[in-house]
Structure 1
């Protein structure tokens, strides 16, 4: 790959995830404090991610794969997204904010696949080249969180500025996208198959008992995962952590470091132990959150955040590799689409629906919650999934 193209793709990834990290981490706090909404409405707000994840395959599979070049539709989406983000920053009640957020996520979620597609088409060996491009996305997310913490927008209750910052970055990426390498439709003129778009051709993989158990565990573990995305930032701000969004970016730093050492762990531990360690990390993280505070147990909060690298890389990245191995050549693409639809679509959708009412049920006053009891619930769910997985899963695929 030419150096100029590598720089272009890296900057594209940086902006793609800077935009998301600029407002998504603090969304729960914004909904509660700026829009004066309920805990249940926080869950409803995050639910837009799952709706976007379900619709994304249609946009990518029908439009980008068959009619419009990927870099063109990426640019158009981010220009529209910039306008929606700016409008969102000015909303003062949830009823008007939610429809705009929903439209934005329906548009944004497909861009995650588009930036990957644009990158892969420029590479001779994506297995070796992609990680060095994708890591700039993690850097973008980290810098967005550090900026929010440094500017003290959470403390000053000016989180509407996060949407304006994201809007400016989205405008920049929208314009920059038109200069990216041409990525014409890969399946232009071919017949559209809904089964192929949703990855449903890979459903026959569930006949493999081991993969079926992994698949069910993936859906189930995404339920407690939703608690982390929904309520970690409101939790940390409520208990008085300074620059909470900035501290949360340490989770992405951890993700970056564990990504580098994953090949070493994978070769020594294998699929089952890697997946189990990922699930165990969720149990430990939520237990630490349940008992952590900003005084004597501050370290528990920091360790809980730092566990993100194991939580995400050991389970989700290992799961993607395992899915690729089981699928074989015939179903590689559809299998990844299928498991993504199940986890970020179905699993997290369930988590987003139940997390809000649960948190609301443990409200102790207008602005306070019994976080100890709240965090033990996703810890318990993750623990049950882990035990069942260890008892029944066998990696029979050599």
Structure 2
């Protein structure tokens, strides 16, 4: 189906090999930008003497998800082309990334956090926009989405390996690497497929801006439970992103960036199995396994050390593939399945980003900051082990709640 201006609507969009390649390049650069600085930022801040601001630095992303995903990823997606939003947001964001290294000092630590917030308000909406462009481009062939999303994981891996190989794991110059690719992605986005903005479902502008239709999806009990559990599981997730690199450094691992990439390598391996697993088992078993994996990962961190139990740390990092793919990738497909018939795919993906990377990770960053504040100025491995038990227990409890309350009736919901 073709719109008046020649724009493919995405409802029956052909999923050609060329299209798959273009979308794969999009995902590669999208997550390279994030992975270049996010993985070792905690180590960088601890190294330069502003470790006390780690919780604040990892809170700006969630705050930006709430603000940026709503204003830009959800509301703006009603009125502007998703690909043009990608162009503007990545070009402006790339400029800010080049400025950030100058502020990563004890004297300018607070200014660094504020500018990072400004950057993340621009970046976070692009996560949902990239998903939207891919899902709408594939139309009904959503089973091809995990393959394309796998290249996002490749981008994250490549970023970690380059940062580690260049010896930049503890250097503020990680932002320069991210800035170069952000500019490149902004320029590349001009060539992305032209998918239509979500069509307004009413003549009421206020309802469209407030994304009433997208939030209305939560009238479905199963989708509401999914959103609640996704938000809750993002709380322990935030602690991994914020403190895992510092923990690995304390355990005596030198190439922290490269080691963290093991997690993305496992993510890549499981990503390619997602279409088959999703068709075979449905959404609930995948989501449940993902949550159980989070609990197991933190338990492994809690018993790992820099000696005979170092294997537990590596295994905990390697579990990232199960943790992320089985919950967040399957969750994005499930959200698209529920939202597409209502014509609010872009808004729903933005809403998912808002609740997970926004509300959940904001709570997780602040809770993690409170736990980190209880550690000594130079925490030992034993201090870290004690801290990791908290997210391990939390993830286990969330998994139990999900198992008892969630029922996958997405097919019935789609027909409704």
User: TM > 0.5 between the two?
Assistant: yes
Unaligned 5+ runs, structure 2 = 1-14, 412-416
Three-state SS of the structure 2 residue aligned to 1:329 is: helix
Distance (Å, rounded) in 2 between the aligned partners of 1:325 and 1:131? 14
State the shift of 1:128 in Å: 4.5
Aligned to 1:293: 305
Aligned to 2:117: 102
Aligned to 2:6: none
Three-state SS of the structure 2 residue aligned to 1:375 is: helix
Aligned to 2:368: 355
Contact 2:93 2:122 in 1 (8 A): yes
Q: Is it true that 1:147 corresponds to 2:159 in the alignment?
A: no
User: What does 1:115-130 correspond to in 2, within 5 Å?
Assistant: 115-120=130-135, 122-123=137-138, 125-130=140-145
State the shift of 1:183 in Å: 5.4
Unaligned 5+ runs, structure 1 = none
Q: Indicate which of 231, 241, 245 corresponds to 1:233.
A: 245
Q: Is it true that 1:88 corresponds to 2:88 in the alignment?
A: no
Distance (Å, rounded) in 1 between the aligned partners of 2:371 and 2:118? 26
Residue deviations 1:155-211, cap 9 Å, x none? xx4x11211111111222223333445557565998574554565434455454444
For the structure 1 residues 220 and 152, does the alpha-carbon distance in structure 2 shift closer, same or farther, using more than 3 Å as the test?
same
Greater Cα offset, 270-279 or 290-299? 270-279
Aligned to 1:15: 29
Contact 1:17 1:137 in 2 (8 A): yes
Contact 2:147 2:271 in 1 (8 A): no
Contact 1:288 1:304 in 2 (8 A): yes
Contact 1:52 1:106 in 2 (8 A): yes
For the structure 1 residues 300 and 390, does the alpha-carbon distance in structure 2 shift closer, same or farther, using more than 3 Å as the test?
same
Contact 1:279 1:311 in 2 (8 A): yes
Q: Indicate which of 228, 237, 241 corresponds to 1:216.
A: 228
Number of residue pairs the alignment of both structures matches: 391
Residue deviations 1:295-318, cap 9 Å, x none? 211211111111111111222233
Residue deviations 1:344-391, cap 9 Å, x none? 221111111111111121x23445460111000100111221223333
Distance (Å, rounded) in 1 between the aligned partners of 2:193 and 2:407? 43
Distance (Å, rounded) in 1 between the aligned partners of 2:110 and 2:240? 24
Distance (Å, rounded) in 2 between the aligned partners of 1:125 and 1:215? 23
Contact 1:14 1:140 in 2 (8 A): yes
Distance (Å, rounded) in 2 between the aligned partners of 1:122 and 1:20? 23
For the structure 1 residues 348 and 84, does the alpha-carbon distance in structure 2 shift closer, same or farther, using more than 3 Å as the test?
same
Contact 1:32 1:38 in 2 (8 A): yes
Aligned to 1:136: 151
Q: Indicate which of 400, 408, 412 corresponds to 1:387.
A: 400
Distance (Å, rounded) in 1 between the aligned partners of 2:96 and 2:119? 6
State the shift of 1:64 in Å: 4.8
Distance (Å, rounded) in 1 between the aligned partners of 2:370 and 2:241? 15
Distance (Å, rounded) in 2 between the aligned partners of 1:263 and 1:89? 40
Three-state SS of the structure 2 residue aligned to 1:160 is: coil
Aligned to 2:126: 111
Aligned to 1:344: 357
Aligned to 2:65: 53
* TM-score, reference length from structure 2: 0.83
Greater Cα offset, 4-13 or 51-60? 4-13
Contact 2:131 2:349 in 1 (8 A): no
* TM-score, reference length from structure 1: 0.87
Contact 2:87 2:185 in 1 (8 A): yes
Contact 2:292 2:396 in 1 (8 A): yes
Greater Cα offset, 173-182 or 306-315? 173-182
Distance (Å, rounded) in 2 between the aligned partners of 1:114 and 1:289? 34
Aligned to 1:32: 46
